[in-house]
Amino acid sequence: MQEISNEIIISGKSIGFVPTMGFLHEGHLSLVKASKSENDITIVSIFVNPTQFGPNEDLSKYPRDFNRDESLLSENGVDYIFYPNVDEIYPNGFQTYVVQEKISSLLEGAIRPVHFRGVTTIVSILFNIVKPRRAYFGQKDAQQCAVLKRMVTDLCFDLEMHICPIVREPDGLAMSSRNVYLSLQERMDALVLSRSLNTAAGIIKSGERDCAKIKSEAMSILTQVPSASPDYFEIVDFDTFETVTTLNSKKSYFLLTACKIGKTRLIDNQLIHL
């Protein structure tokens, strides 16, 4: 991969890069489309990264289907798929990790302690292998984007970060490879995430600025569904990801939620500009 990337760069062409864990859907393909429209060459990686899964998480049962992914990517005009083995990325003797300190410790990071260390490490490795001019990530994983943007700035990675909007199913469920775990009933129940976000956004639009009130409305929606057990509903500053208590005008915030539907943990968010 490094040799191919070197040749592309020497020939004066730009590389757009879309890192994924595979089992692709329209959300991933929207990143591919963005990359193709802005770069000469688009490279997609497929790697289910073990270091970002905690010991009791779904690494071994994470959905995989390389053949389907390969045809989707070739139909969508991707130039190269980087599909390494775990042993190639983490060979015997591997002992170096990248840690983003502050944003990584909040919310998802508080609940999934090794998660962002795994993400920043694999993305650094992939950036060093693929050497992209532009890298594409989804706002679906808003905290991941904030962690990675901070890492790219702090460590002077010589590339542009592009964050693309959340792609949803027609009924509002944010697309995710993990949606395949949901039973028919759970698939309906899972709409409670986007419903809680829309309700909170509506309350804010009608003038509410007290975050405690907004969060308690959203939480009451999440807890109405018997299969739903929310980890959090939070309102955070766009850049720092710190929790806020009162909303100010001319600022941007994320409404964020993580909620288990049955055994499946889903996340969703909405960006608010005041």
Residues of this chain that interact with ligand AMP (CB under 6 A) are 20-21, 27-28, 30-31, 137-138, 140-141, 164, 166-167, 174-177
Whether 28 sits among the annotated catalytic residues: the reply is yes
Residue number with the shortest CB distance to ligand AMP? 138
CB neighbours of residue 240 within 10 Å: 13
Are 252 and 270 spatial neighbours (Cβ–Cβ below 8 Å)?
no
Minimum distance of ligand AMP from residue 132's CB (angstroms): 13
Beta bridge partners of 259: 230, 266
Nearer to ligand AMP, 22 or 230 (CB): 22
Minimum distance of ligand AMP from residue 127's CB (angstroms): 13
Minimum distance of ligand AMP from residue 268's CB (angstroms): 9
Nearer to ligand AMP, 141 or 189 (CB): 141
Minimum distance of ligand AMP from residue 137's CB (angstroms): 4
Q: Which of 28, 115, 162, 273 is the catalytic position?
A: 28
Nearer to ligand AMP, 144 or 227 (CB): 144
Nearer to ligand AMP, 141 or 186 (CB): 141
Q: In the numeric block, which tokens belong to residue 137?
A: 């990530």
Instruction: Report the phi/psi class of residue 96: left, alpha or beta, with left for phi > 0 and alpha for psi in -120 to 50.
Output: beta
- Residues sharing a CB contact under 8 Å with residue 258, sequence separation 6 or more, in sequence order: 107, 108, 111, 230, 231, 232, 265, 266, 267
Report in angstroms the alpha-carbon separations of 119 from 57, 113, 148, 171.
Answer: 15, 12, 8, 30
Active site residues: 28
